[in-house]
Amino acid sequence: EKRRAWLAADHLGRARRAVDGSRSALAGVRALEEEKRVRSAERQAAASELRRLQDMADLRRQRLAAIDERAAEQAKLARATAENAPLLDRARRQRAATDAAAEASRRALAAGERERETVRRRAERLRLARELAALERLAADVRATAAEAAEQQARADAEAIDEIALEQLETMEVGLKETRAALRAVATRLVLRPDRADAEVLLGLVPVDPAAPIELTAPATLILPGFGRIEVTPGGKGLAELRRALADGEAAFAGRLAELVARDLAEARRRLLARDRLAHEAEAARQKLATLLRASGMKGQAALDAACVTARARLAGFDDVDGGDDADDATLEAEREAVERTLAELREREAALAEERRRATEEEARLGREADVLAGAEARAGLELAKLEDQLAIERDELADVALAEALAAARTVDDRAAEAVLRVERELARAAPEAARLEAEQAARRLAQLEERLAPYMRQLMGEAVAAFAPESLRLETLRRSAASEPFSSLSVGTREQLAILVRLAIGDLLVETRGQSPPLILDDALVYADAVRLARMKTILQQAAARQQILVLTCRKEDYLGLDARYLRLEDCRA
């Protein structure tokens, strides 16, 4: 036992050292990548600085020329500009104001269009909600009627007494009556006339009324106290055969009643009437079901259920629409008309602003052309002064070029060194790339093994020995292996795919809890809709177990599906301020 513990500890230590080595190697690769990024950034910075210095040299020359030109034109430009500038500035402000108003109008128009679309979607959502409610009511009626028909028919079919059985009992009853009548016809009839009113007569050991005639079909003993016994042996013709026939008939009648679990013929008649009533009610329910389906235009209950699913899916496409649940058609129509009026007003306003902007733009262009004419006149007037300052500009350029040349040479040196460093790092990265790829593959395999290990208990609880297979690179579910057969994930039913997705999220949450101490909440929005009763019960058990380690939020409109969980139940109404 100690050796196994020592071997396990040694194996664990080797695994940890391998992981640490992998991490160190990956850290080295990442350090090289970071150095490459830094060197590339340095090279880009050097190139940018080189371009900046070149641009600066060009700009300086252009700026000096412009300064010389403006110096020659300054006096006359100031006077002409002083006269034209206020008008041009006012035209520009007017155009800017018009642009701002037009932009505000466009935003308002866009908002109006969005509001109109919202009103339309609210109306459509209301229509779909009503359609779904009608379909669900009809589906409920159809299910209830079908269940009633099935129940009544089952009760009728369970009744063992039918017309044939009742006819048999009635025939046997008639035969018994006829046999008893024949037996009485040949029976020995005794009439006792005692002298005393208190005279006692015993038939066997049973007292009888002396005043009533006694009919005997079998040997019997009369005991007359004070007299003695009288042995009576009936001897009518065929008496023995009639007694046997009566006994056999009564036994057969009683046996048939026992087979039908009936006390007597009257009960059998009542049960047959009840059976007929149940069959009639079942037929009436079936006719009602057919009438409901014909009225709905559906070919059957499955088609009606499919229509409900389709209606729910269509209504779900409008979940982003806020409000409208309590609105009626008149309210929505009034909102639509109000939005249309607002849009019409905004379009008129936009057209007016477009015309105003056109006039402002034309005025600005006219004043701009006048300013250009004035500027041209100033340039020609200052030409003589510009020629006088050319020599000074040349001297400034010569002095500036010396400093720029030195800066450009230094920038080129930095760029060359940065390029060499980048090339060196790229060579080192190329050498380390295979090892980095191998280490990353090992890390991916470890992550996959950890995920499969946490997922396995959930899979056993839900599907027995089924195993989920993942894509190693993306950790996406690819196949489900059951009974030595693999099924693509995309070919599974919607319910099974949904349940597997929930189990994978639970397994990831457990892994995060183990490695980081906590996991983000798992939020399920109306999940497990397609789960049957057995799968739903298993999933509830799994969720209850997982909730001990991580937080799970279930958003549902079917609270009854989750009853019995040790959870806190909240309604949206309880969350409102």
Supply the DSSP string of 442-464, one letter for each residue: HHHHHHHHHHHHHHHHHHHHHHT
List, in order, residues 6 or more apart from 61 with CB less than 8 Å away: 397, 400
Strand positions, DSSP E, 370-474: 467-470
Could you tell me the CATH superfamily of domain 443-575? P-loop containing nucleotide triphosphate hydrolases (3.40.50.300)
Residue-range domain boundaries for the chain: 157-296, 443-575
Q: How many CB atoms lie within 10 A of CB 536?
A: 17
Residue 207 dihedral angles phi and psi, to the nearest 5°: -65, 145
pLDDT at site 523: 92
Phi-psi region of 555 (alpha: psi -120 to 50; beta: other; left: phi over 0): beta
- Sign (positive or negative) of CA dihedral 130, 135, 140, 141: positive
HEC profile of 556-567: CCCHHHHCCCCC
Nearest-angstrom CA–CA distance, 528 and 293: 29
Q: Cα(first)–Cα(last) distance of the chain, in Å?
A: 63
SS3 of the chain: helix, strand, coil, percent, to 5: 75, 10, 20
Report the C-alpha gap between 281 and 148 in whole angstroms. Answer: 9
User: CB 51: neighbour CB atoms within 10 A?
Assistant: 11
Residue listed under structure tokens 């010389």: 68
243 touches 218 (CB < 8 A): yes
CB 293 within 8 Å of CB 300: yes
Instruction: Please enumerate in sequence order all residues whose Cβ is within 8 A of that of 257, keeping only pairs 6 or more positions apart, or say none.
Output: 169, 263, 264, 265, 268
Of 544, 487, 555, the closest CA to residue 536 belongs to 544
pLDDT in tens, 514-559: 888 888 899 998 888 888 888 888 988 999 998 889 999 999 888 8
**Side-chain-facing half-sphere of 569: CA atoms under 13 Å:** 11
User: What whole-number distance in Å separates Cα of residue 167 and Cα of residue 162?
Assistant: 9
pLDDT computed for residue 138 by the predictor: 72
Burial degree of 110 (CB within 10 A; 0-12, 13-18, 19+) = exposed
DSSP 8-state class, residue 263: S
Q: Using alpha carbons, list the distances in angstroms from residue 288 to 19, 42, 141, 157, 303.
A: 72, 85, 10, 20, 17
Per-residue pLDDT of the chain in tens (577 residues, 90 and over written 9): 666 567 656 655 665 566 566 667 667 666 766 766 776 777 677 677 667 766 665 655 665 565 666 566 656 655 666 666 676 677 777 777 777 777 777 777 777 777 767 766 777 777 777 777 777 777 777 777 777 777 777 776 667 777 787 788 888 888 878 877 777 766 666 777 777 767 777 777 778 777 777 767 677 787 777 677 877 666 666 677 777 887 788 788 888 888 777 788 788 788 878 888 877 887 887 787 778 777 777 777 777 777 778 877 777 777 666 555 555 666 766 666 776 777 777 777 778 777 777 777 777 777 677 667 666 666 666 666 566 556 546 545 544 555 656 666 676 676 666 666 666 666 665 665 666 566 666 666 777 778 888 888 988 898 888 888 887 766 688 888 887 788 888 888 898 889 889 988 998 898 888 888 888 899 998 888 888 888 888 988 999 998 889 999 999 888 888 888 888 888 877 776 5
Q: Angle CA(35)–CA(41)–CA(42) in degrees, nearest 5?
A: 90
What gap in Å lies between CA 462 and CA 202, rounded to an integer?
80
Q: Which of 352, 300, 381 is nearest to 74 (CA)?
A: 381
Are 360 and 98 spatial neighbours (Cβ–Cβ below 8 Å)? yes
Of 103, 97, 104, 95, nearest to 362 by C-alpha is 95
Q: Given this model, what pLDDT does residue 214 score? A: 74
Position 292, amino acid? L
Give the separation between CA 332 and CA 126, rounded to whole angstroms. 10
CA 114 to chain centroid:
28
Question: What distance in Å separates the CA atoms of residue 237 and residue 229, rounded to the nearest whole number?
Answer: 25
pTM: 0.32
Assign 487 to helix, strand or coil: strand
